[in-house]
Amino acid sequence: MAKVRTLILRAPGTNCDMETAFAFQQAGAITSQVHVNQLIRREEQLSDYQILVIPGGFTYGDDISAGKVLANELKLKLGEDIQNFIDRGGLILGICNGLQVLVKAGILPGTHNGGGQAITLAANDSGRFECRWVCLKVNQDSPCLFTKGIESLYLPVANGEGKVVATSEALADLNIVLYYTDEHGNTNAGYPYNPSGSVGDIAGICDSSGRIFALMPHPERHIRGTQHPRWTREGAKKYGDGLKIFLNAIKWAKKNL
């Protein structure tokens, strides 16, 4: 059976591409780490891949605002290619900086907004870079294919601008996939459970098709059980919570090759 081809997008400041590639490889995909300029110069074609991933990092130093420069490149230089990729059923995953990019490029919450930006990501309420592990609850009513069969996740966050900000109108239209919770699964638990102060405790969103998904926490950093911060005390599971997200993506893409 043909393997799913996954494009890990790189730009100046990307720093989670290797971990993300490893996660997809563990899930059974063939991965290529492709610089955004290679797509712009047509040295690589997005149409050759089934999955596009924008990994974590600080693209272009997060100058102007987090993810904004890369978002502009995607929108102005690769907009048609990305829309064609979406139209033919491709999957898109954004992690941390990837969520910031997809939101500011107007790709999320969804292309129904005409390519305009409907929500944004702002500086954390704490006024600091937040690097900690968080509990997450999956919205079972979400159409997101990446989280099928998952009820909860325990993943790390690492960001300075992770606060989802949205008007009440935009919030009502969002396809929310992940919520920050306390260890008992309760939302509205406040800081540090919601480390950014994100409105509605939102940690991840998708489009209406469920094929475009982005989240602030890092699933690629919890692929193995020994990556859990308490594995020596509680015992290590074989796989980390994040792996299922990548397995779901590969499973879906294989069915649609």
Residues catalogued as catalytic: 96, 218, 220
Rounded to whole angstroms, the Cα distance separating 77 from 56 reads 21
List 213's β-bridge partners, or say none: 93, 206
Of 171, 138, 141, 139, the closest CA to residue 155 belongs to: 138
Query: Which pairs with CB-CB distance under 8 Å and at least 24 residues apart come from 72-78?
Result: 72/104, 72/105, 73/11, 73/36, 73/40, 74/36, 74/101, 74/105, 74/107, 75/105, 75/106, 75/115, 77/40, 78/36, 78/39, 78/40, 78/46
Rounded to whole angstroms, the Cα distance separating 211 from 243 reads 17
Find tokens 């990729």 and name the residue: 85
State the DSSP code for 4: P
**How many CA atoms lie within 13 Å of 132's alpha carbon, on the beta-carbon side?**
15
